[in-house]
Structure 1
Amino acid sequence: MTDVTYTRATADTAAGLMDELCDVYADAYGHVPGEDSAVKTSAFRDRATGALGARNYEVVTARAGDELVGFVFGYSLRQERDWFAGLDPAPEPGFTDERGGQRTVVLAEIEVRQAWQGKGVGRRLHDEFLTGRGEERATLSANPAATTTHALYERWGWQRVGTVPGRPGAYYREYVKFVRPLR
C-alpha cells in the first residue's frame, strides 16, 4: 500500500483544495438510497467554505501520492456561536464559557475515502489535528443515528455530553455533541 503523507494547512491553502475536499466527502459517504448525493455534497461545500473564515481554522490532509484520501478540519469555538445551545441534559454552569475563543476547538469534519477506511487514516488525521491544537478541549457533532461512529469516538477518548436541536436548514433535526480534553 502507498505511504500516506499528512500535512497541516491554513484556510488560505484549504480554499484551493475545496474541489478535492468535496470529492473526498462524496466518496466517503458514497450513494445512500433515498438521498440526493449532489445536495448533500453541495451542503458540505457551503459548510466547508463558510468555515474558512473561522478563528484559527486548520485542515490536516492525508495524501497517498497525489491523491487526497482524507482530511479533517476545525477551528476555535467563539462564544457567540452557541454551539451547545439547547444541550440536553443541561450542562453544569460554566461548561459553555469559551473564555476568548481559546477553550474549545471544533473538529468540524473528518472524512476518508471508502477505499482507505479501516486502514488507520481517520485515526491518524484525528490525532494529527488534535495534537497541534492549543485549546483546552475539543468538541464535535454527530448524526444521532450513527451509533457505530459514536462508539468509535468513545474509543478515541470522546465523551458524549448530550444532544442539541438542529438549526433551521440543518441536515439533521438533532445532533449528538461530544467533548474531549486536550490537555
Structure 2
Amino acid sequence: MTINDVSLTHHDGAEAAGLLEELCDTYAYAYGVGPGEQKTAAFRHRAEKQFGRPGFALVAARDGGRLVGFVFGYTLPAGDTHWWGGVQPEPSAEFLRETGARTWVLSEIEVRQAWQGKRVGRALHDAALGARDEERATLATGPDAAAQPVYESWGWRRVGRIPGDEGDYYSAYDLFVLELPVSR
C-alpha cells in the first residue's frame, strides 16, 4: 500500500450523497469504531446536512475501487456566520467578515487506519484545497486533537477557540486558518 496505488476523484454534493454509505464505513474505520456506533451516526447526520451547502466539494481516495479516505467541505455564507461565533481571542471585524466566497470550511478529512501515515491525508488535503478559489480555508478540531501538529506542519495556524454547542463531541473547538491557494 503506497500513495501511488491511490486514485483521487472530485465530487459535488449530489454525488457525495450517493457515496454516503461508503463515507460512513470509511469514517468508522478511520476511528476504529463500528459503522453503527454513535460517533458514526453523528458523522452521518453532519454529512447529510452539508451535501447541499454552497461550495460543497468532496475528494475521494480509492485503492482498487475501495474508498480509503476522503475530504469534504463547503463555503461559508456571506454575513454573520455561526462558524466564528464566540471565538476567543476575538479577531478583528475584517477577519470575521464573510462574503460568501472568502472562506472554505474543511469539514472532514478521514483516512482508514490501515492507510494512515502513508501521505493519503496530505494528498486529499492538497487536492481539495488546490481546487478552491476562496481566499482562505478554516477547520475546527478538538482542543487536544492529535491532528493539530499535523495541520500546523501543513501550514495551518491556530486563530482561537470557540465553545461547542449542546450535543457536540467536544465542549470547545480550536479553529485554524490556512491562506489559499496552497502550494503543492
TM-score, normalised relative to structure 2: 0.93
Tell me the distance in 2 between the aligned counterparts of 1:45 and 1:81. Answer: 22
Deviation at 1:56, TM superposition (A): 1.1
Q: Is the 8 A contact 2:80 2:97 kept in 1?
A: no
2:18 aligns with one of 16, 19, 22: 16
- Equivalences for 1:1-183 in 2 at 5 Å? 1=1, 3-31=5-33, 38-78=37-77, 79-99=79-99, 101-146=100-145, 148-183=146-181
Structure 2 stretches lacking a partner, 5+ long: none
CA offsets per residue over residues 73-98 of structure 1, 9 Å max, x none? 00101134320110011102211111
In structure 2, distance between residues paired with 1:82 and 1:45: 20
Distance of 2:25 and 2:95 partners within structure 1: 36
SS at match of 1:95: helix
Cα RMSD (Å): 1.6
Q: Paired residues, what number?
A: 178
Shift in CA distance, 113/50, structure 1 to aligned 2, threshold 3 Å: same
After superposing on structure 2, the runs of 4+ consecutive aligned residues of structure 1 that deviate more than 2 Å are none
User: Which secondary structure does the structure 2 equivalent of 1:169 belong to?
Assistant: coil
* Preserved contact between residue 68 and residue 112 of structure 2 (Cα < 8 Å): yes
Deviation at 1:31, TM superposition (A): 3.9
Cα displacement (A) at 1:171: 1.3
Q: Any conservation in 1 of the 2:89–2:160 contact (CA below 8 Å)? A: yes
CA distance in 1, matches of 2:42, 2:111: 18
Secondary structure in structure 1 of the residue aligned to 2:97: coil
Q: Could you tell me the percent identity over the aligned residues?
A: 53
Structure 2 distance, partners of 1:13, 1:154, is 31
> Aligned partners of 2:33 and 2:11: how far apart in 1?
29
- The gaps in structure 1 that reach 5 residues or longer are none
3-state SS of paired residue (2:67): strand
Amino acid at match of 2:14: D
